[in-house]
Chain A
Amino acid sequence: MSLRVRQPGLLTTVQDLGRVGHQRDGVPVSGAMDPLALRVANLLVGNDERDAALEITLTGPTIVFEGDALVAITGADLSATLDDARLPAWRAIRVPSGATLAFGAVRVGCRAYLAVAGGIDVPPVLGSRSTYVRAGFGGVDGRALRRGDVVSSGAPSALAERIAVSLTHADGRAGVARWSVGAKLRPAYADEAVVRLIAGAHAAALTDASRAALHQATFRVSSRSDRMGYRLEGPSLELAEPLELLSEPVAFGTVQLPPGGCPIVLMADRQTTGGYPRIGEVATIDLPLLAQLKPGDRVRFAPISLEEAQALYVEREREIAGVRQSIVLRYR
């Protein structure tokens, strides 16, 4: 099965869970901005949750399916349609060959994920199919999709085949699964998010006023935000004393404070190290809420302890394992 790109959309890239193990060589992890949505999309179509899918940003592509397909769309609601009929999200869908997938208005969120059974089959680079546009590798020739591109899916799993059979109608129309995932794995995206923040290594170096502002103010996502980082506009934050720091490793969700006073949250395509003060670290559980904000949206930071953040992480991993198990049982 192949996907033919009739219109590429604003920024449609191949992403998986990222290029792990090469940060010591300065290689960014990349991968899905909203890894939860990517994982769930994969599970819904019987894939390994680490398989590659399309990350679709705000203005979606127009795609023609060349071959029968089993797909799922998760993440942002970008008004997906199949042959002009509204397409339900967060469900496995059997798509007949020749059908056209299109997108419309942004209802909520910023990034949708289109998983196809078998995963998007592009050559892995350093163990990952994720596109890293800045250095031009991964995905399709290291770039976003263009009009005329044709990307193929890999071989579907036996589970995917069983799901597809269960959704196939004799008359050839699209078949939509009646089941989905629970609310815990479908975060309530909004254009104003409250995101929980673990204290950063240099949070104590903020002035009292800035430390208070970090957790009380509402910040706006700047238009100069991208997959590398979210620049936040709000009250200017200041350190009590300037810090002389050596470059140190950073992580997905690290909140840096450059001298200008506007924090930057490091996202999927972040550099591996940074020399700015780190005033906070977004809890992994809330990264999807942040990644689904678009320029102009708003965010507030609620404090959370490291212990609680890790407990929530473990609980979410259990939820995901539960979904994986229930899909396997359903199609045994």
Chain B
Amino acid sequence: MSGISFSPLGDRAVIIRLGSSIDEATHRRVRAVCARLDAQPIPGVVEYVPAFASVAVHYDPATNAYARMTELLDAELVHLEDEGLPPARTVEIPVCYGGEFGPDLDDVARHHALTADEVVRIHTGGDYLVHMIGFAPGFPYLGGLPERIATPRRREPRTLVPAGSVGIGGSQTGVYPIASPGGWQLIGRTPLTLFSPERDVPALLRAGDRVRFRAISRDEFLAWDADA
């Protein structure tokens, strides 16, 4: 793989840089590196963490010092191409838009001189990519929000955003996996549990997944069995 560079992240991690922008080609390179690290474990590697355009490899310097670790990584990744990646999963996320679950939907619509229904139609029409998970357990950074409904964050962040809230922050959209403070415009809420430490696979979404949102009614939301 060309255009790959290494830089230390302290004395126990190295960052593999694979690009400088948020785009699908870079994202495929990130996925390819992760797939290779899964297939070919390198001695001393503790875990890896993919991001928009980089992958951090946390390692034990008592096994391999930085220079040796980057040699091993380079040898493993130099001939890596992004063909042959497993097909991306598509995860459908049901969302009850507006009302008590999406208190900012009307503001977002007004901001763009659209109706609330039009915002919902545009949001559910988008094809989203999970570029990375970060910020909070299971929180997906999604690419693919139609520019027409990109909306600045709220001037005053909320001190508590309920788990499952679906929001728009600038040109990003996402779902809050756990209750937390947050400044995004809340347009709806999903009954799905995005993160549960008790599940075998705790995070619903992983980097590389495709996401579609589907509008559901308030009754469907209330009747949803989150464990199903």
Which residues of A are interface residues toward B (Cβ below 8 A)?
Answer: 20-28, 125-126, 134-138, 198, 201, 246-254, 271-273, 278, 281-284, 306-307, 309-310, 313-314, 317
B109 beta carbon closer than 8 Å to chain A: no
In the bound complex, CA of A184 to CA of B53 (Å): 40
Interface string of B24-35 (1 = CB under 8 A from A): 000000000010
Give complex CA distance A21, B12 in Å. 14
Are B47's CB and A21's CB within 8 A? yes
- Whether B49 pairs with A23 at a CB distance below 8 angstroms is yes
Once bound together, how far apart are the Cα atoms of A158 and B2, in whole Å? 54
Known A-B contacts A25-B206, A126-B197; the reply to A20 vs B46 at CB < 8 A is yes
Whole-angstrom CA separation of A214 from B48 in the bound complex: 30
Question: For the complex, what is the distance from the CA of A201 to the CA of B21, rounded to whole Å?
Answer: 17
Residues of B within 8 A of A271 (CB): 134-136
B135 and A126 contacting across the interface, CB-CB below 8 Å? no
CB distance from B76 to the nearest CB of A (A): 18
Which 10 residue pairs across A and B have the least CB separation, nearest first? A249-B56, A281-B10, A273-B134, A25-B203, A309-B11, A249-B49, A310-B61, A26-B133, A137-B197, A246-B52
The reply to whether A310 and B11 form a contact with Cβ atoms under 8 Å apart is yes
Given contacts A25-B138, A248-B56, A314-B62, contact A306 B8 (CB under 8 A): yes
Q: Is B120 an interface residue (CB 8 A)?
A: no
A314–B46 alpha-carbon span in the complex (Å): 16
Bound CA span A129–B86, Å? 34
Which B residues touch A248, using CB under 8 A?
15, 51-52, 54, 56
Q: Are A24 and B49 in contact (CB under 8 A)?
A: yes
Whether the Cβ atoms of A198 and B138 lie closer than 8 Å is: no
**Which residues of the other chain, B, contact A24 by a CB distance below 8 angstroms?**
34, 47-50, 133, 206-207
Q: Once the chains bind, are B135 and A273 in contact (CB under 8 Å)?
A: yes
Contact B51 A249 (CB under 8 A): yes
**Who on chain B is nearest to A316 by CB?**
B62
A20 contacts B52, C-beta separation under 8 Å: no
Cβ contacts under 8 Å, B132 to chain A: 247, 273
Q: How far is the CB of A35 from chain B (nearest CB, A)?
A: 12
Question: Contact between B62 and A313 (Cβ–Cβ < 8 Å)?
Answer: yes
Seen from chain B, the residues whose Cβ lies within 8 Å of a Cβ on chain A are 7-13, 15, 20-22, 34, 46-56, 58, 61-62, 65-66, 132-139, 141, 177-178, 180, 195, 197-198, 202-203, 206-207
From A247, A249, A307, give the contact of B65 (CB < 8 A): A307
Contact between A26 and B136 (Cβ–Cβ < 8 Å)?
A: yes
Decide if B65 touches A273 in the complex (CB within 8 Å).
Answer: no
A310 touches B49 (CB 8 A): no
Q: Would you give the shortest CB distance from A98 to chain B, in whole angstroms?
A: 36
Do A247 and B11 touch across chains, with their CB atoms under 8 A apart? no
Residues of B within 8 A of A21 (CB): 46-47
Name the one of A126, A247, A273 contacting B202, with C-beta atoms under 8 angstroms: A126
Q: Tell me the complex Cα distance, A250–B13, Å.
A: 9
Most A CB within 10 A of own CB, among B9, B20, B136: B9
What B residues does A27 contact at CB under 8 A?
137-138, 197, 202-203
Output the least CB separation between A298 and chain B (Å): 22
Min CB distance A265 to B, Å, is: 11
Interchain CA distance A198-B202 in the complex, whole Å: 34
A309 to B21, CA, bound (A): 32
| Cα distance A312–B46 in the bound complex, in angstroms | 19
Contact of B133 among A25, A138, A306, A309 (CB under 8 A): A25
B8 CB to nearest A CB, Å: 5
**Contact in complex: B138, A283 (CB < 8 Å):** no
